[in-house]
Amino acid sequence: MILSTIALSLLVIQGEPPKPEKEHEWLKQFEGNWETSMTMGGQEEKGTETAKLKHGGLWLHMEVKMGAKEEFSGSGHLGYDPKSKKFQMAWVDSMSPRLQISEGTLDKAGKVLTLDTEMDMGAGPVKAKWRWESVDKETKKFSISSMSGDGMDAKEEEMIVVTYKRKK
């Protein structure tokens, strides 16, 4: 009840809710049901992802399950903030008690979205890059790379690669 009162008050103060922009439209290509194949440390895991634009078309909601017994599960919201001109994401999963927050930009060709984040995989925080690539209408790719060093000395090491094939 309290949340609906707050939401109604914000709508009255702000006026019309925001409309999706071209960056939100870009996210539409990732909607759907996907079969996934993840490689990490030489091992491969199969899984699924369901992704759908929600909240007025502003946020892509993703649900991921991996492993024979779905040992890994995660969900996230990916959207675009017109004020900062950056994509933003909030992610939670069964491998970490931390909320992952990331932000970044789309390359000029409109194919690769790179988000900067900080991950803690048990040994302390590590700077990382998360990338989504639109390969074609039936395929997308996601990767996580760790970053070490700063500036010109920064080195990037790919840790995880996930290939998605649209379910038929």
Q: What is the pLDDT along the chain (168 residues), one digit of tens a residue?
A: 565 566 555 555 666 788 889 999 999 999 999 999 999 888 899 999 999 999 999 999 999 999 877 788 999 999 999 999 999 999 999 988 889 999 999 999 999 999 999 887 667 788 889 999 999 999 999 999 888 766 667 788 888 999 999 998
Mean pLDDT over the full length of the chain:
88
Q: How far is CA 141 from the centre of its chain?
A: 11
Structure tokens at 81: 């903030």
pTM attached to this predicted model: 0.84
Is residue 46 within 8 A of residue 36, CB to CB? The reply is yes
Cα–Cα distance measured from residue 50 to residue 118, given in angstroms and rounded to the nearest whole number? 25
